[in-house]
Structure 1
């Protein structure tokens, strides 16, 4: 198996946000940012795997700060984790007011990408060479996110899952449960 350093596949892109990218509130549309994030995730994963990649899942998309028309948006992507055929690409989104120089962290997200051959079959990806504590932390956090996701899926997909086990948990939310007696 061959291995690649994370630095070898890091990618950064910048784009000036224009009025055509805005939503009805005058801020940059979240869907446009997600599209750019998917593009950089694809580029980073394809650079690492040296093949075509598809998006398998997107984890933790939190829009922390709005992006304004005229801001320079910079996205930085790196491989945080590799499995046999999949890679987790970590993406950081920042916006810069080019008049004031103020930089805001707008989003961090994790895209799971799967390497494919020309027939659409999943193919093995190179391993990772981790060079510093930040890269180790990112790799371990990716493992923990995957474990949490699997555990949650097992719990909710289980044949013996019953909503009645969770009804008391709903008391802390703004919801009133009015189930028919036959339930």
Structure 2
């Protein structure tokens, strides 16, 4: 199965409309940029329309100021049958200063869908470099942890009869 590039970087300036009440770029704007980069990465790799099924581990490390040059780097770190796990880093800097600061990082899972709207297979990614093997193994560990968290969260979504009868 043919695939595209494993990674992509989006670059743009943070605009005044992206700023929250505290004068920094708000988290919702950053999450939108992350979702856009994850989509571009997944669609580029799979050559298919993709949907977001998970975004997690989002860490807001440092604020982004209006007027900053923002760089969102996305790369495939694991592929399932129909899913692609994408690691994302957001970095920012004053355009007059080349020193970038990591501001946010997270993992997003995208699923490729066919014309019928159902999940469809994606090209597999096999790491060769040691760091890429580490990233894939980390993605697998995180996937297993998410399953445990999902089981715990189910209690919040569907209350058990035991709790209701108390």
Structure 1 residue 72 and structure 2 residue 69: aligned?
yes
Q: Deviations 1:61-109 (Å, cap 9, x if unpaired)?
A: 1111000011100011110111111110111100012233332101111
Equivalences for residues 136-175 of structure 1 within 5 A? 136-155=133-152, 157=154
**Which of 45, 56, 67 is matched with 1:48 structurally?**
45
Structure 1 residue 125 and structure 2 residue 122: aligned?
yes
Given the superposition, is the C-alpha separation of residues 67 and 25 from structure 1 closer, same or farther in structure 2, using an over 3 Å criterion? same
Give 2:34's aligned residue.
37
TM-score computed with the length of structure 1 as normaliser: 0.80
Structure 1 residue 97 and structure 2 residue 89: aligned?
no
Q: Distance in 2 between matches of 1:127 and 1:12?
A: 21
Give 2:109's aligned residue.
112
> 1:21, CA displacement in angstroms?
1.3
Unaligned 5+ segments in structure 1 are 165-181
Structure 1 residue 15 and structure 2 residue 9: aligned?
no
> 1:155, CA displacement in angstroms?
4.4
Contact 1:53–1:115 (CA under 8 A) maintained in structure 2: yes
Unaligned 5+ segments in structure 2 are none
Q: Deviations 1:119-164 (Å, cap 9, x if unpaired)?
A: 20110011113131111111001100010111233345479x8xx9
Give 1:86's aligned residue.
83
TM-score computed with the length of structure 2 as normaliser: 0.88
2:33 aligned counterpart, secondary structure: helix
Q: Distance in 1 between matches of 2:32 and 2:150?
A: 26
1:60 aligned counterpart, secondary structure: strand
1:32 aligned counterpart, secondary structure: helix
How many residues align? The count is 163
CA RMSD for the aligned pairs? 2.5
Q: Distance in 2 between matches of 1:100 and 1:50?
A: 36
Given the superposition, is the C-alpha separation of residues 57 and 120 from structure 1 closer, same or farther in structure 2, using an over 3 Å criterion? same
Contact 2:3–2:47 (CA under 8 A) maintained in structure 1: no
